[in-house]
């Protein structure tokens, strides 16, 4: 059983989501879109926006569970630059095998981190 996803690890308020959407860096991938924005805290936080385009409630909840698990397993706990990340899943992710989702998530996370670092430097 995986450990719980605490409140401190979540983007929760509408204003927090809006800041990420307005000022964040957007990175597209095959199975989802990632938006990242530095948050000034000591840890990464995750928000998920799964619209009805993904499917019914069962499909949306499954997509959110998969994204939370990938975030839990593949994002370092002590970052050098902590970010608020908002993930927008695509419908195709529900048909993909988990290892393909993990590869796509790792790739988009690296690209997002690289873009954030580039914005911080210059």
Tell whether the model's pLDDT for residue 1 goes beyond 50.
Answer: no
Tell whether the model's pLDDT for residue 52 goes beyond 60.
Answer: yes
Could you give the CA distance from residue 92 to residue 95 in angstroms, rounded to a whole number? 6
Q: Residue 73: which pLDDT band, with cuts at 50, 70 and 90?
A: confident
Strand locations in the chain, DSSP E? 25-28, 32-38, 45-48, 83-89
How many CB atoms are located within 10 Å of the residue 37 CB? 21
Give the distance between the most distant pair of CA atoms in the chain.
Answer: 43
Could you give the CA distance from residue 48 to residue 19 in angstroms, rounded to a whole number? 14
Q: Residue 120: which pLDDT band, with cuts at 50, 70 and 90?
A: low
Percentage, residues of the chain above pLDDT 90: 65
Between residues 45 and 115, the one the model is more confident about? 45
Q: Which of 45, 40, 49 has its CA nearest to residue 8?
A: 45
pLDDT in tens, 19-35: 999 999 999 999 999 99
Q: Please give the pLDDT value at position 13.
A: 93
Here the tokens at position 19 are 């800041």
Could you give the CA distance from residue 83 to residue 19 in angstroms, rounded to a whole number? 12
Could you give the CA distance from residue 77 to residue 32 in angstroms, rounded to a whole number? 22
Domains of the chain: 7-114 (3.30.230.10)
Q: What pTM was computed for the model? A: 0.88
**What are the φ and ψ backbone dihedral angles of 83, each rounded to 5 degrees?**
-130, 155
Per DSSP, the three-state class of 122 is coil
């Amino acid at each position: 059983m995986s450990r719980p996803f605490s409140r401190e690890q979540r983007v929760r308020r509408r204003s927090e989501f809006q800041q990420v959407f307005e000022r964040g860096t957007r990175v597209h991938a095959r199975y989802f879109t990632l938006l990242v924005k530095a948050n000034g805290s000591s840890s990464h936080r995750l928000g998920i926006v799964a619209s009805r385009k993904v499917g019914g409630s069962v499909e949306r909840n499954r997509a959110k569970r998969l994204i939370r698990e990938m975030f839990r397993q593949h994002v370092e706990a002590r970052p050098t630059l902590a970010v608020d990340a908002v993930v927008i899943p695509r419908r195709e992710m529900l048909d993909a095998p988990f290892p393909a989702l993990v590869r796509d998530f790792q790739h988009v996370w690296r690209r997002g981190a690289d873009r954030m670092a580039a914005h911080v430097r210059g």
